[in-house]
Amino acid sequence: MFVCWCGLNIGGVVDVPRVVEEISGCPGVARAVDYRYMCSDPGQQLIRDIIREERLDSVVIAACSPGMHESTFQSVAESAGVNPYRCEIANIREQCSWPHQNEPLEATRKAVELIRAAVEKVRGDEALSALSIPVTRRALVIGAGIAGMQAALDIADAGHEVVLVDRLPHIGGHMAQLSETFPTLDCSQCILTPKTSEVGRHPGIRLLTSSEVESVSGYVGNFTVKIRRRATYVNWDLCTGCGLCTEKCPSRTPSAFERGLAEEPAISIAFPQAVPHKPVIRPEACRHFTKGKCGVCEKVCPVGAIDFGQQDSLIEEKVGAIVVATGYDLHPKAKVGEYGYGVYPDVIDGLEFERLNSASGPTQGQIRRPSDGKVPKEVVFIQCVGSRDQENGYPYCSKICCMYTAKHARLYKHKVPDGQPYVFYMDIRAGGKGYEEFVQHATEEEGVLYLRGRVARVFQDGEHVVVFGVDTLSGKKVEIRADMVVLATAIVPASGAKELARVLKTATDEYGFFSEAHPKLRPVESLTRGIYIAGCAQAPKDIPDTVTQAGSSAAKVLTLFSAPRLSHSPTVAAVDEEICTGCGICVEACAYEARALDTRRHVAVVNDVLCEGCGACAVACPNGATRQRNMARSQAMAMIDAVMG
C-alpha cells in the first residue's frame, strides 16, 4: 500500500502520515508507506523494492487518477513480479484532495475510506493477462477536405492503403471554395490542386466520392465498414470529362458550390479543377427524373456514359483505423433574423464572399453584390455572428473569423480601391504566425475601419442595407448605409456529424464536434480506440492547424499499424452461465455490440475484444450472472462496506 503526496497536490490537504498509520492496520495490508512523488523514478524503485521485500501479491497505490498513471504503476508492479491487474489505484487527488481543499480533516477521512475500498477490491482481483488482437493495416479517412486529404496522403505515403470517402462528388472540401488564404494571400486553388491531383492519382488511395459511411462494426485494428456509394447516373469508367453534357443540359438550379450565387446544370462538375473531373446528375434537378422526359445528356455523350438506371451500391471495407475529417458548416441563415440573413440578398456570409472574390466564381472574381450586380462602395463586415453568443448561437469562438474578415476587407480594397470596408468586431484574435501583422496591415495600409462593437440590426432601405451598430470605444451609436454586408457566421459541425458519431460509436460535444480523448495530451484521438480526428470535425480551425492535426492523426494511425498485434485490457465482462437466464437485457445494454445471446444454450455471451469493460451489462443484469472481471459484485459490496464502515 503506497500513498503518494504528489507534492502539495495531495500532501497539502490530506494528512498523509495519518493515512498511512490508519491503513497499516487494515486486514490484508502487509505494509503501508508514503513518498513525495510516487511516479518518480525513486518512487517506482521504492514500490519494486517493497514488493520484493514483502513478497507482495498485490498492490494499492493511492495517488492521482488512474487515467494519469495506472499504466505506469501496473508496469512497475509487473516488473517486480506482481500481476498488473492486481495493482489498484485509489484516486485521492482528483476525487479527494482537489475537491476538498478547504476540508483537510474530511479529506483525510475520505482518503482512508477510498484506500480501504481499493484494498478490498484488490483482495478480490484475479491475476489476468492482456488479450491480444490482430491489426488490419488499412485506414479509412472520412471527409476529403484539406484535413482528410493530408491524413490520407501521409498514411498512403507510408505504404498503407487508404480508403478516402467524401459525400460530395469531388474532393477538396471548403478549401476549394476559398479565393485566397491568410496570412499570405496565396490563391487557395493554387496550393490545393497539387494535393487534390496527388490524391486522385495515388495508387495507395481508394477514392470513393459521392459516398457515405453507413455502418461500422468491429474494433480497433479490425473495423468492418459499409459505405454507400450514391448513384451518379454517369458511368465514370467510360466518361472522359469532356463536358459536352453539362453544356447541353437545359436545367438550371442554384449551385451549392457557389453558395446559391450562381446556377448550374443538373449534370455538372462543380468547378474546373474538380477531382475527379467527372460529372454527376442531381436527380432532384434533372428533367429526366423530375418530369420523365429529356435525356439530352444521354444523346450528346460521345461515349455513352450516361446511365439513368444506375443504383446506389454498398461497398464493404476492412480497415484497422479510422480518421474522421468531416469538416464544418456555417451557422444556419434562419437563425440570424436581426441581420436579415437569408432575406436581404446583399447580406451574405463569408463563404459567399469567397465565391464573389474567386476567379472561377459567379462574377469571375469581381466584387459585385448579388442583388443588382453593382460594385458595392460601402461594405460592412460583421464578426461573431452566432459565435460567442450563448443566447442566440454558440458560446464558443469560431477562431478563424477575425483573420478571414481581415482578409476579406483587404481583398475588397484591392479590387475596389475607392470603396470603404468597415469591420464590426469584439476582440481581434490573431494568434498565429504572421496573423497580427496581417490585421495591422489592414488597418494601417489598406484603410479598413475597425469598429469595436456589435451590430444590433440590419435592414433593407431602398437599395441600401442599413446597419445599426455601436462603437463602444467612442461610446457612439453608429449607422452605416451600406451597399453590402458580410457576416462572419459561426462555424458549426458538418451536418450529420452527430449521426456519424453514433455510427462510429464515439462521442461528440453538445454541438456535434467530435470529442478528443484528452484536450491537451491526446488531441487527435477520439474517445474510441482506433478512431482519430482531424480538422474542423473537432473544433473550428484554420488551414495550418488543420494540416498539422491531420499529419498528427496520420502519425497515430501509423503508430497503431507498426505494432504486430494489439493488446486489449482483460478487465472485460464475463458470464456465469450457470445462473444466466438468457433474458438478453445485457445485449441491449451494451453500446459496443460485445454482447450476444447464444440461442442454442439460451445464455448470453461476451466478445472479449469488443468489450470496453464499461460495466453497463453487469449493472443491467438483474441477478449478477454477468460480472465485470476484477469488479465482481462481491468486490463492489466489499468496497461499499469498507467505505461505509
Partner 1 sequence: MSLRQGSMRYPYFPGCTLKAKARGFETSAVASAGALGVHLDEMENWQCCGATFPLQADNSFPLVSPARTLASARKMGERLVTLCSACYNVLKRTNHVLRTDVGRRDKVNAFIEEDYAGDLEVMHFLEVLRDDVGFDALARSVKTSLGGLAVAPYYGCLLLRPNDELGFDDPEAPHILEDFLSALGCQVVDHPYKIECCGSYVALEPGDLASGPSRMVVESARSRGAQAIVTSCPLCQYNLDVAQQGAHGREQAGVPVIYFTQLLAIALGLPEDVLGFEGHVISPGPLLRCVGVVGSDAIA
Partner 2 sequence: MKDLLIASGQDGREKALSRFLAKLLDVGAVDALVVPVEAAPGVITHVLAKDPRLVEEAARPLAPVMPSSAATLVSEVVRKRPSGRVAALLRPCEARALVELVKLKQAAPENVVAIGMDCAGTYDPVAYRQAAGNVDGLEFREACRVCQNPAPLEDGLPGITLGLIGLDDSEGIVMSVHERLDPAVAAVMEELGLASGEGAGRKRREAVQALVQERQEACDAFLKGARRGAATAEGPDPAAPGVSGVPGVPGIGAFARELAACTGCHNCRVACPVCYCRECVFDTDTFEHETGQFLRWAGRKGALKMPSETMLYHLTRMNHMSLSCVGCGQCEQACPAHLPIFRLFAMASRRTQELFGYVPGRSLDDELPFTTFREQELEPR
Partner 3 sequence: MRLARDVVRGEEERKLRDISGEEVRSCYQCGKCSAGCAMTSMMDLLPHQVIRLVQLGQVEEALASRTIWLCASCLACSARCPRGVSLPNVMESLRVTMLRPGGRHIDPARLPADVLENAPEQALVAGLRKYS
Instruction: Note the helical H segments in 311-432.
Output: 350-357, 401-415
Out of 126, 338, 445, 463, the only residue in the binding site for partner 3 (CB under 8 A) is 338
Provide, rounded to whole angstroms, the least separation between the CB of residue 113 and partner 2.
14
Stretch of 55-63, 391-399, 402-410, 581-589 contacting partner 2, by CB under 8 A:
581-589
Out of 26, 620, 631, 643, the only residue in the binding site for partner 2 (CB under 8 A) is 620
- Binding partner of 620, given partner 3, partner 1, partner 2, none, CB within 5-8 angstroms per partner class: partner 2
Can residue 337 be called a binding residue for partner 1 (CB under 8 A)?
Answer: yes
Can residue 466 be called a binding residue for partner 1 (CB under 8 A)?
Answer: yes
Distance (Å, whole) CA 504 – CA 591: 11
Distance (Å, whole) CA 420 – CA 105: 66
Contact 16, 92 (CB under 8 A): no
Angle at 257 between CA 251 and CA 261, to 5 degrees: 70
Provide, rounded to whole angstroms, the least separation between the CB of residue 394 and partner 2.
20
Distance (Å, whole) CA 333 – CA 311: 33
Of the candidates 354, 553, 383, which has an alpha carbon nearest to the alpha carbon of residue 545? Answer: 553
Can residue 426 be called a binding residue for partner 3 (CB under 8 A)?
Answer: yes
Contact 354, 185 (CB under 8 A): no
Q: Whose Cβ is closer to partner 2: residue 426's or residue 583's?
A: 583
Length of the chain: 645
Provide, rounded to whole angstroms, the least separation between the CB of residue 487 and partner 1.
14
The beta strands (E) that lie in 426-504 are given as: 449-452, 457-461, 464-471, 476-482, 484-489, 491-493
Residues near 227 by Cβ (< 8 Å), separated by ≥ 6? 163, 165, 208, 211, 212, 213, 214, 314, 315, 316, 317
Scanning the structure block, which residue is given the C-alpha cell 505494509?
Answer: 31
Q: Which of residues 380-399 bind partner 3 (CB under 8 A)?
A: 384, 388-393
Distance (Å, whole) CA 526 – CA 518: 8
Can residue 633 be called a binding residue for partner 2 (CB under 8 A)?
Answer: yes
Out of 309, 462, 475, 564, the only residue in the binding site for partner 3 (CB under 8 A) is 475
Q: What are residue 385's DSSP bridge partners?
A: 489
Distance (Å, whole) CA 238 – CA 441: 51
Of the candidates 97, 72, 106, 90, which has an alpha carbon nearest to the alpha carbon of residue 9? Answer: 97
Omega of the bond leading into 27 within 30 degrees of 0 (cis): no
Can residue 496 be called a binding residue for partner 2 (CB under 8 A)?
Answer: no
Can residue 312 be called a binding residue for partner 2 (CB under 8 A)?
Answer: no
Number of residues that bind partner 1 (CB under 8 A): 9
Strands 205-208 and 161-165: parallel
- Binding partner of 17, given partner 1, partner 3, partner 2, none, CB within 5-8 angstroms per partner class: none
DSSP annotation of 386: S
Distance (Å) of CA 491 to CA 258, 398, 412, 537: 18, 6, 22, 10
Can residue 459 be called a binding residue for partner 1 (CB under 8 A)?
Answer: yes
Provide, rounded to whole angstroms, the least separation between the CB of residue 623 and partner 2.
4
- Binding partner of 453, given partner 1, partner 3, partner 2, none, CB within 5-8 angstroms per partner class: partner 3
Can residue 309 be called a binding residue for partner 2 (CB under 8 A)?
Answer: no
Q: Whose Cβ is closer to partner 1: residue 67's or residue 395's?
A: 395
Instruction: Note the helical H segments in 141-272.
Output: 146-157, 188-201, 244-248
First vs last C-alpha separation in the chain: 19
Stretch of 279-287, 429-437, 471-479, 633-641 contacting partner 2, by CB under 8 A:
633-641
- Binding partner of 461, given partner 3, partner 2, partner 1, none, CB within 5-8 angstroms per partner class: partner 1
- Angle of helix 350-357 relative to helix 401-415, nearest 10 degrees? 30
Provide, rounded to whole angstroms, the least separation between the CB of residue 501 and partner 2.
13
Stretch of 12-20, 164-172, 347-355, 454-462 contacting partner 1, by CB under 8 A:
454-462
Q: Whose Cβ is closer to partner 2: residue 114's or residue 609's?
A: 114
Out of 580, 609, 611, 639, the only residue in the binding site for partner 2 (CB under 8 A) is 580
The identity of residue 43, as a single letter, is G
Can residue 205 be called a binding residue for partner 3 (CB under 8 A)?
Answer: no
- Binding partner of 583, given partner 1, partner 2, partner 3, none, CB within 5-8 angstroms per partner class: partner 2
Can residue 46 be called a binding residue for partner 3 (CB under 8 A)?
Answer: no
Q: What character string, x for contact with partner 2 (CB under 8 A) and - otherwise, covers 201-240?
A: ----------------------------------------
Q: Whose Cβ is closer to partner 1: residue 29's or residue 343's?
A: 343
Distance (Å) of CA 69 to CA 73, 423, 578, 614: 6, 49, 37, 19
Out of 21, 186, 316, 338, the only residue in the binding site for partner 1 (CB under 8 A) is 338
The identity of residue 346, as a single letter, is D
- Binding partner of 519, given partner 3, partner 1, partner 2, none, CB within 5-8 angstroms per partner class: none
Distance (Å, whole) CA 374 – CA 379: 12
Can residue 453 be called a binding residue for partner 3 (CB under 8 A)?
Answer: yes
Distance (Å, whole) CA 38 – CA 6: 7
Provide, rounded to whole angstroms, the least separation between the CB of residue 508 and partner 3.
23
DSSP annotation of 494: P
Chain-centroid distance of CA 175 in Å reads 18
Angle at 424 between CA 422 and CA 426, to 5 degrees: 150
Q: Whose Cβ is closer to partner 1: residue 457's or residue 522's?
A: 457
Q: Whose Cβ is closer to partner 3: residue 370's or residue 453's?
A: 453
Number of residues that bind partner 3 (CB under 8 A): 24
Q: Whose Cβ is closer to partner 1: residue 133's or residue 343's?
A: 343
Angle at 449 between CA 446 and CA 450, to 5 degrees: 120
Stretch of 236-244, 339-347, 511-519, 584-592 contacting partner 2, by CB under 8 A:
584-592
Out of 585, 614, 631, 643, the only residue in the binding site for partner 2 (CB under 8 A) is 585
Contact 93, 9 (CB under 8 A): yes
Provide, rounded to whole angstroms, the least separation between the CB of residue 390 and partner 1.
14
Q: Which residues bind partner 3 (CB under 8 A)?
A: 338, 384, 388-393, 426, 452-457, 468-472, 475-478
Q: Which residues bind partner 1 (CB under 8 A)?
A: 337-338, 340, 343, 457, 459-461, 466
Q: Which residues bind partner 2 (CB under 8 A)?
A: 578-585, 588-589, 597, 602, 620, 622-625, 633-634, 637-638, 641, 645
